[in-house]
Structure 1
């Protein structure tokens, strides 16, 4: 894959509400050459994940970055770009994947990926992949303590956010072009922990994951029926597993 740094600079911000919102504003207001390829911070005050959920880490403890994938404007399958970034990220933290975007360490969520199509100054859609990783937290609130973890809690040590970010980009460059699931599938499967996980479908039904099927869609067993979907949500103990 082509690195976003081939088409723009690395911009590190001391603090920002959302790297995704920063990317959206820069794309909308500036010519292509002025838009960075990566926007990164360790203090994101109003980050968000899938379904509009807030993602907020303590200052200095998390990596938040947005990859502005200019080379993939108007890409027909932007979700494959996000899944490729997830593969690169989980390799960098030595974890596992839960469809479609969760980075796991020891079965608990350590991060996630959000892919959005954002218009540039000419109105073309640019895939922007937001990435959040818990790096140096030593604990979490009681309500999510059984669901969340950090790289430091799982692997020990202290972890530099910029170094982890560059490691992700280095791995991304070695991945195949995100043109088809066939090319990405064997790499995703090296890290996949999706089968057996519980998911909630948009219609409210709950099912158990069989695995990831053609085109990167989730295959889920629901009442004896196999359902293929791109919109299911990981679910655990009556609450979203990514909370």
Structure 2
């Protein structure tokens, strides 16, 4: 085969591969952090809130910034990068956007507990009969999960966690079933609690460390107005913003 013909055939194969890659990627939109352009987040349909928490409580996607009841500081994220997380020692952090209160829906965030303490860690919920909303609650040294409609729902046993380790916590609800996921950074993600039962979001804001003097850090808070599949939750777990 002549060199010119061989080159044309190679170019045709390369073009075909690029076309296939484009088709497979169709429907996903990339959002880049201007401070970390090497990391890539896929924005799936239904994303309505995203807080990178790069040392502040500003919303990258959404309608309202977060607030704190006291002091918070910029911290080191799970990849060891300074200024890429928000840390507290005795403050509650609140996100008042109604976008966190959808049914169906998905809410997830990364948390690191520098010390273990009993109390609510991450919730949109209220203490009424059988609980309303969802909650991740710490009871040293583990995390328990609750969800409900005020008249029905479910709660899990406590899952052990280790101080000083970043954990991904995710709650999804759809088609009458709640799913709670926990995974450590560098480890694997598990669906630690799945239960069929009614769920109704609470009128309260999404809250971290409600009434708990936690020494902890949070990062990369996202909310979707739909239930993400287990594979989508895992992909978010593996993404570093």
Fold shared, TM-score > 0.5 on shorter chain: no
Q: TM-score, normalised by structure 1?
A: 0.30
Q: TM-score, normalised by structure 2?
A: 0.30
Which structure has more RCO (C-alpha within 8 Å, separation ≥ 6)? 2
Which structure shows the bigger proportion of residues in strand conformation? 2
